[in-house]
Amino acid sequence: MDNRPIGFFDSGLGGLTCIAPLMRSLPNERIIYFGDTARTPYGSKSPDTIRGFARQIAAFLIQQDVKMIVIACNTVTATCLRDLQQRFPQLPIMVVIQPAANKICAICDEKSSIGIIGTKVTIKSKCYEALIHQKRPELQIHSTACPAFVPLIEEGIIENEIMDLTIRHYMDNFIRYYKIDTLVLGCTHYPLILDNLKRIYPSLRIVNPSEEVVYRIHQVLEHEQLLADRPVGDHTFYASDLSENFVNMINRIFELTEFRVAFKNFDLTTT
């Protein structure tokens, strides 16, 4: 048993989409979240820049004595998973991409047409294709970057015709041309537009990596004997810029839960 918190991080709000399913399935676990809201989005930045940010945040979470780090960001996973694992070998580092790739391998067949959407960096890395094709080389996969989604979501422009038009701009032709039937939300911000996607493309089967990772976290905590046996303290949400949107989004995601949260501003540039 280990009652220390689990550390999550993302470039901003996106990683929060992993937190609600985690709280539902592992209510004893406590969370420390870091959203790099001052430097979001990561998805159009260079791999070197992203690596520098990710090292800084992982070191910060380790200082907070977390028992596990969850990289709740596809872009960081695609660019620096190995680097972080080499630098911080003392604790398990979990990612969203592998569990989602496993899910695709389990539910798709050679007739499926799989679409991956994500940031420019994630799509360029072809990380989903590589993992899926390792196990199922026959699966047909197509991918496209949707770089305007993250800035709109960070601005809270979600239930809005601007978001719907942006979705159609990136996805109408992609879905029609490749006859996509299964879509992977390859960015942790995208579950926040899940309702828009379901309304615009009702027949799509959607795989949400933010939910898939929770099963894997559970398995690893159990296997490593790191599960908490009782909740100790509050969940804490740090942001490099504690913006109104960040606080509003946390309140919105957790409004129906009984969980108490604490907010902290943390300026990474002073470390």
Q: Distance between alpha carbon 91 and the CA centroid of its chain, in Å?
A: 19
Catalytic residues: 73, 187
14 Cβ contact list (under 8 Å, min separation 6): 72, 73, 150, 153, 187, 188, 189, 190, 192
- Between residue 96 and residue 135, which ones bind ligand DGL under the rule CB under 6 A? 119, 122
Q: Which position among 79, 166, 188, 208 is part of the footprint of ligand DGL (CB under 6 A)?
A: 188
Of 257, 213, 212, 150, whose CA–CA distance to 8 is shortest? Answer: 213
Which is nearer to ligand DGL, 74 or 196 (by Cβ)? 74
Nearest to 184 by CA among 249, 111, 241, 99: 99
Please select the residue that binds ligand DGL; options are 43, 99, 115, 191, rule is CB under 6 A. Answer: 43
Q: Which residue is nearest to ligand DGL (CB)?
A: 43
For ligand DGL, which stretch binds (CB under 6 A), given 9-17, 56-64, 104-112, 229-237? 9-17
Task: Name the helix (H) or strand (E) containing 178.
Answer: helix 161-178
Supply the minimum distance, in Å, between the C-beta of residue 260 and ligand DGL.
Answer: 25
Nearest approach, Cβ of residue 136 and ligand DGL (Å): 23
- With H, G, I as helix, E, B as strand and everything else as coil, classify residue 138: coil
Helix axes 47-63, 74-87, angle to 10 degrees: 60
Binding mask 145-184 for ligand DGL (x = CB under 6 A): -----x----------------------------------
Residue 117 gets which letter from DSSP?
A: E
Q: Which is nearer to ligand DGL, 157 or 227 (CB)?
A: 157
* Binding residue count for ligand DGL, defined by CB under 6 A: 17
Rounded CA-CA distance 206/115 in Å is: 10
Could you say which of 69, 167, 184, 187 contacts ligand DGL (CB under 6 A)? 187
**Binding footprint of ligand DGL on the chain (CB under 6 A):** 10-12, 14, 40-43, 73-75, 119, 122, 150, 187-189
